[in-house]
Amino acid sequence: MSQKTVILNAQEIEQSIGRIAQAILQKHRGDDSLALVGIWTRGVYLARRLAKVLEAAGSPSFPCGAMDITLYRDDWTRLHHQPVLSSTEIGFSLDDRTVILVDDVLFTGRTIRSAMDALIDFGRPDRIELAVLVDRGHRELPICADFVGKKVETSRTQRVNVYLAETDAADEVLLEDPA
């Protein structure tokens, strides 16, 4: 049985999203070309929450999309013989926008590389930035987040699992050590 440690509870997740939103507002004050695109699954829910916090803080309403990167991954054939695809919902032009990709955990950087490849197939953003709830290190690619909720020191064998109320029983981020 694995050992589990709570990294973020529900209140801390909410506070982290609030800090990310404030950092985005500070960096992009007056920029109306901003768009958020969440990576399925939990990145989409985090992007939607972030959009609500940004709007509540008085920023203009930014378009918010969802992207499935399954077929862009370099390991999709190893994950499933028949991958389950989610819908990509980007109902706005990405051209000349500052797109903030949103994901739950930044680890090796491969998911984000795949997401950038997918974004380029939908348009030509002026700039792509990255917001993540948790950065756990161990990059294999030269990718870093512009906005981070929490940095966590982990070993490569540990797992960081994000649970959100939209798909799971509650909001919580766990660090799990293998048995």
CATH code, domain carrying 105? 3.40.50.2020
**The pLDDT value given to residue 80:** 55
**What residues make up the domain containing 58?**
3-25+33-72+94-177
**The pLDDT value given to residue 86:** 72
Q: Is 148 within the bounds of a domain?
A: yes
**The pLDDT value given to residue 76:** 47
> Mean pLDDT of all residues in the chain?
92
Mean pLDDT of the 23-47 span: 95
Residue in 17, 7, 3 with CA at minimum distance from that of residue 160? 7
Q: Is 68 within the bounds of a domain?
A: yes
Q: Is 88 within the bounds of a domain?
A: no
**The pLDDT value given to residue 172:** 98
Identify the bridge partners of residue 123 per DSSP, sorted by sequence position.
Answer: none
pLDDT at 18 > cutoff 80: yes
- Per-residue pLDDT reduced to its tens digit, 57-96: 988 888 999 999 988 865 544 555 566 667 899 999 999 9
Total tally of structural domains belonging to the chain:
1
Confidence of residue 33 (pLDDT cuts 50, 70, 90): very high
Q: Is 80 within the bounds of a domain?
A: no
Q: Is 113 within the bounds of a domain?
A: yes
pLDDT at 123 > cutoff 90: yes
Residue in 142, 88, 79, 138 with CA at minimum distance from that of residue 112? 142
**Interior angle at CA 7, CA 128 and CA 27, nearest 5:** 30
- Interatomic CA distance for residues 117 and 16, integer angstroms: 27
Mean pLDDT of the 104-120 span: 96
